[in-house]
Structure 1
Amino acid sequence: MLLAIDVGNTNIMFALVEGEAIRWRWRIATDSKRTADEYAVWLNQSMQMEGVERSAIRDVVIASVVPQTLFNLRGLSRRFANVEPLVVGAPGVDYGMPVNLPNPAEVGADRIVNAVAAHLQWPGDLIIIDFGTATTFDVVSAAGGYEGGVIAPGINLSMDALYQAAAKLPRIAVEPPPEGRGVIGKGTVHAMQSGVFWGYVGLIEGLVKRMQAEIGRPTTVIATGGLATLFSRHSDAIQHVDPDLTVKGLVRIHARNRKD
């Protein structure tokens, strides 16, 4: 099986993939100081809980937006699975997708991985929204080129900033106001829920509308990430949700670069 590792700013996803089927998923908080041994102990325990032997891992692919994690994740791959991992973004990795930007190296590995997976699943021009620590909007042309995108603060980041900077405002969950309450807040929590949630819906819809106007052709909008389902229920701007988009992209890129 393939161990696909997706390192985000907040969490790391470890997924065991057989063929193209994702069999198991585990998450751990991102910590650039975590050693290869610590990863190995945690991953071994997680696999044992599912009855999976470490010998089942035949290869490893990694995408990381936190470069400091790569040294120890490479160490994990070598010591735990006895393989040299494929690292997205490393020299020589073939995405099968041109990055049509002045400096392609600036694009985060996760964004390219998402773009590859989305282009293989949906035809035409695409906008991919990834709800993570940052919320990213990426454009893929119908011809299969990565054309650029937008980076906005993630909603949890925005909420934390509001809570920390305003002494009297409480910490709230990411959710719309209770049904029937409307947008205009009748109390502090209600007002914050409206501002944070509906304000973010406005950000999504406004950016998608402007991007579509700039593209000038019909586009399909796909969302991924932890809050994708929640926002898709409250906005017509999103047509599809795929929580496994990044892992699927890692599988595809690994298959393209595999040395049999």
Structure 2
Amino acid sequence: DLAGCGEGRKRLPDGGPGQSHADKFSTIDEPLENQWSYHAVANVIRGHSLLRSFAGVDGDRVALTGISWGGYLTCIVAGVDDRFAMAMPVYGCGFLRENSVWKVGEFGKMTAAQSDKWHRLWDPSRYIGSAKMPVMFLNGTNDFAYPMDSYAKTCALVRSEKNYSIQLNMKHGHLFEFPEFFLFADQYIRGGKPMPVVARPVIDGGKVRTSVKSETKLIEAKLHYTTAPHEQNRSRAWKTIELKVDGHHAQGAAPPSEATVWYIAIRDERKAIISSELIVQ
């Protein structure tokens, strides 16, 4: 990704905005066509149209994914281009001015009007709720940029089919070491065996339970929780409660009442981790 640069990383005359934080946030009072998100979203949609125009491409089996800022863009594009067979944002989410790595450094420099304008135009929460394709969410518990509270609110907006793989302390980067990325894609693009789906957990009498829809054998189940505030997302410690797997069900001790966020993670025979939705308290 040359970000509008050519040979020797020199700016091209028609290269569009760069990818600095200033290009993404500080241009909010400029015309729309000068702003990074405008160009980035338009480029994804135009690239998709170009891809579908090729004779060797099955337009019904094109997926959308991106990592970090690419995950941010995936959340937006999923809501405005319904031609994709599935969408898979990795790390990215919305509600960035409420809690994210940019809350203080970027939104803190804006006036209230500028913050409202950026949120209205460019926050993924304004778009992802319109997604019609299945959306698969991948993130780590301690991501430095996209914290669990903002992430959970973003996931809740999706009304189409959705699934989750929230992983304990997953690194942030362009990583392809985890099988879930490919298994989610294969499910919708190649007709692969579906990933398990974990139902919303239920707490009753100090116990937690959930059911799992799965065509693969379930190997283990764990409940992960933290009691630290969401503002400490990157550094806060998580604790784990082992759950008992019984066929397509998992149960065990409930998280403490002071937990600020928790979820259940299931591992199947392919060593893939599938999660319940995040429960934010």
> Higher RCO, 1 or 2 (CA under 8 Å, sep at least 6)?
1
| TM-score, normalised relative to structure 1 | 0.25
Higher helix share: 1
